[in-house]
């Protein structure tokens, strides 16, 4: 798997920055998918997640005229005119520029019209992403990570993994309220991880996994889904906690089956996890139909991934050719697009 710049280097946010004309910084990050542990992770249980390096976000920050600007598929114009849905992006840009030592950008954006315009530093952020938005694949976290890396690249200083995590979490709080941190960790990871209460550990993948992804065509809402589970937990605490505990057990047990490369056990765990996610109310008829279609096509198992109430389905296939067949079946069930992700042995 490719590694984005500055992922593991030192934090030098306090280093001085040389302002020169037409400089640029570049940052790249990737998508993520949760294999096991959605929603249980919110309550401190472990979750297993993988980087999806075939889906990427790239940020380029260039110096230019005074002020802050954004150029993206969703919006192009000054930060002051950005729509509310870009608030996480704006937060990522401002906090990253400040943390990287480019504090003049923040002052410039807040300066009054009577200030000397020619003395203000300016920055333009350009974003290119192949990660579907609001599909449970960590789009907002990946974009924020790319922005942070671009800001530090522009500043010519190093960014360590903890500083990167802090910056992404700052943006994720704007996007999702109280994020667990699993997205922020996985979009910067080079391999599969176990995430538990903020702690991260790499896990072994004993044999390559071929996973067919399906975009349901409906946006997911992590905040809404988490709120729905919380409401269910308040109404029926014992039964809901039992379901969440079983999700945690499945995630923990999957560490051994993933290390062994036991596809049958991995697939069975995926299908059981989806049934539990259905029972806690974060699946939908549409997602259930796509999961059923994947299994009908011979997938070892299938489940929603991410917060639910929309988003994506993942299915464990035998091979790339089989993943194509599984994808065809999921599209017939209503998925708007499918693609294949290879998880290498590691």
- pLDDT mean over 7-23: 41
- DSSP conformational letter for 15: S
pLDDT for the residue numbered 121: 63
Q: How far apart are CA 78 and CA 81, in angstroms?
A: 6
Residues 302 and 165 in one domain: no
Residues 167 and 60 in one domain: yes
Residues 285 and 180 in one domain: no
Residue 4 lies in a domain: no
Residues 168 and 237 in one domain: no
pLDDT for the residue numbered 151: 97
- DSSP conformational letter for 190: S
Query: Within 13 Å and on the Cβ side, how many CA atoms surround 240?
Result: 17
Residue 321 pLDDT exceeds 80: yes
What is the tens place of the pLDDT at every residue in 211-267?
999 999 998 877 788 888 899 999 999 999 999 999 999 999 999 999 999 999 999
* Residue scoring higher pLDDT (271 or 14): 271
Residue 177 pLDDT exceeds 90: no
Domain membership of residue 194 as a residue range: 24-199
Residues 192 and 211 in one domain: no
Mean pLDDT over the full length of the chain: 88
Closest residue by Cα to residue 220 from 313, 295, 302: 313
What is the tens place of the pLDDT at every residue in 28-61?
999 999 999 988 888 888 999 999 999 999 999 9
Q: How many C-beta neighbours within 10 Å does residue 7 have?
A: 18
Residue 129 pLDDT exceeds 70: yes
Q: How far apart are CA 209 and CA 125, in angstroms?
A: 36
What is the tens place of the pLDDT at every residue in 297-316?
999 999 999 888 899 999 99
For 64-107, what is the HEC assignment? ECCEEEEECCCCEEEHHHCCHHHHHHHHHHHHHHHHCCCCHHHH
Closest residue by Cα to residue 252 from 195, 298, 293, 300: 195
Last residue of a domain, one of 199, 222, 257: 199
Cα–Cα distances in angstroms (integers) from residue 36 to residues 154, 221, 252, in the given order: 37, 18, 9
Residues 193 and 71 in one domain: yes
Cα–Cα distances in angstroms (integers) from residue 333 to residues 217, 298, 313, in the given order: 12, 15, 12
- pLDDT mean over 289-295: 98
Q: What CATH number is associated with residue 69?
A: 3.30.230.10
* Residue scoring higher pLDDT (117 or 295): 295
Q: How far apart are CA 308 and CA 291, in angstroms?
A: 13
Q: What CATH number is associated with residue 257?
A: 3.30.70.890
- DSSP states along 263-305: HHHHHHHHHHHHHHHHHTT---HHHHHHHHHHHHTT-SEEEEE
Last residue of a domain, one of 150, 165, 199: 199
**61 near 25, Cβ under 8 Å?**
yes
pLDDT for the residue numbered 257: 96
Cα–Cα distances in angstroms (integers) from residue 133 to residues 20, 61, 164, 220, in the given order: 34, 21, 21, 9
Residue 209 pLDDT exceeds 80: yes
Residue 141 lies in a domain: yes
Last residue of a domain, one of 199, 222, 247: 199
What is the tens place of the pLDDT at every residue in 147-174?
999 999 999 999 999 999 999 999 999 9
Q: How far apart are CA 272 and CA 75, in angstroms?
A: 40
pLDDT for the residue numbered 207: 95
């Amino acid at each position: 798997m490719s590694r984005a710049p500055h992922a593991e280097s030192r934090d030098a946010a306090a280093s001085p920055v040389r302002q020169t004309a037409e400089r640029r910084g570049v940052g790249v990050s990737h998508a993520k998918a949760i294999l096991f542990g959605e929603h249980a992770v919110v309550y401190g249980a472990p979750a297993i997640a993988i980087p999806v390096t075939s889906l990427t976000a790239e940020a380029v920050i260039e110096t230019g005229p005074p002020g802050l600007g954004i150029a993206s598929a969703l919006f192009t114009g000054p930060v002051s005119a950005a729509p509310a849905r870009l608030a996480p992006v704006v937060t990522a840009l401002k906090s990253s520029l400040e943390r990287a030592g480019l504090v003049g950008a923040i002052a410039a954006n807040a300066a009054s019209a009577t200030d000397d315009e020619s003395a203000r530093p300016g920055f333009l952020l350009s974003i290119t992403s192949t990660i579907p938005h609001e599909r449970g694949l960590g789009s907002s976290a990946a974009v924020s990570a790319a922005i942070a890396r671009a800001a530090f690249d522009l500043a010519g200083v190093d960014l360590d993994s903890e500083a990167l995590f802090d910056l992404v979490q700052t943006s994720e709080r704007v996007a999702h309220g109280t994020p667990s941190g699993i997205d922020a960790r996985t979009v910067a990871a080079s391999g599969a991880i176990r995430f538990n209460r903020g702690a991260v550990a790499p896990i072994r993948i004993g044999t390559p996994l071929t996973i067919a992804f399906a975009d349901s065509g409906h946006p997911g809402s992590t905040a809404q889904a988490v709120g729905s589970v919380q409401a269910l937990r308040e109404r029926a605490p014992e039964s809901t906690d039992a379901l969440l505990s079983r999700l945690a057990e499945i995630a923990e047990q999957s560490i051994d089956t993933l290390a062994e490369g036991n596809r049958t056990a991995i697939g069975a765990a995926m299908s059981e996890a989806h049934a539990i996610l259905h029972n806690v109310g974060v699946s939908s008829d549409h997602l259930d139909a796509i999961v059923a279609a994947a299994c009908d096509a011979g997938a070892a198992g299938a489940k929603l991934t991410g917060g639910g109430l929309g988003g994506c389905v993942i299915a464990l296939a035998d091979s790339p050719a089989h993943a194509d067949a599984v994808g065809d079946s999921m599209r017939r069930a209503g998925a708007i697009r499918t693609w294949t992700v290879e998880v290498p042995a590691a």
